[in-house]
């Protein structure tokens, strides 16, 4: 995945609102997104579902703001509450995320 592959109707492709998003459109971040997408497909779920399932199992997190713009996104994302991530998948997510320099620091 790269910045030229952004869906035309996404906020990331909209120059009037993508100021923060641009800071994430780096090769290292996009490479990790591709790896996470592969991992999600191998697990039989979407990248959004993998991401939300991971976020919702973090200590101190009781809910996630999803920012959906279409009803279909809400329907897809709600399925994440039923996703149970195995220890192997969680370890692979952590391995992938550590490839992004400063992942746990703000990228702005």
Going residue by residue through the chain, which has 108 residues, state the pLDDT in tens, using 9 for 90 and above: 444 566 677 766 666 666 666 666 778 888 999 999 999 999 999 999 999 999 998 888 888 888 888 899 999 999 998 999 999 999 999 999 888 876 655 443
Task: Choose among 96, 94, 102, 106: nearest CA to 32.
Answer: 96
How far lies 108's CA from each of 13, 25, 104, in Å? Answer: 18, 11, 12
Give the global pTM.
0.77
Domain chopping of the chain, boundaries:
3-97
d(CA 35, CA 51): 12
Task: Choose among 50, 63, 49, 45: nearest CA to 97.
Answer: 50
Determine contact, residues 65/40, Cβ cutoff 8 Å.
no
């Amino acid at each position: 995945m790269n910045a030229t592959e952004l869906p035309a109707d996404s906020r990331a492709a909209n120059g009037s609102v993508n100021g923060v998003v641009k800071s994430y459109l780096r090769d290292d971040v996009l490479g990790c997104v591709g790896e996470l997408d592969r991992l999600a497909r191998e697990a039989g779920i979407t990248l959004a579902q993998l991401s939300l399932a991971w976020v919702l199992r973090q200590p101190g997190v009781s809910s996630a703001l999803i920012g959906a713009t279409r009803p279909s996104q809400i329907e897809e994302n709600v399925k994440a509450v039923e996703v149970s991530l195995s220890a192997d998948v969680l370890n692979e997510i952590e391995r992938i995320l550590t490839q992004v320099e400063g992942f746990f620091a703000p990228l702005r």
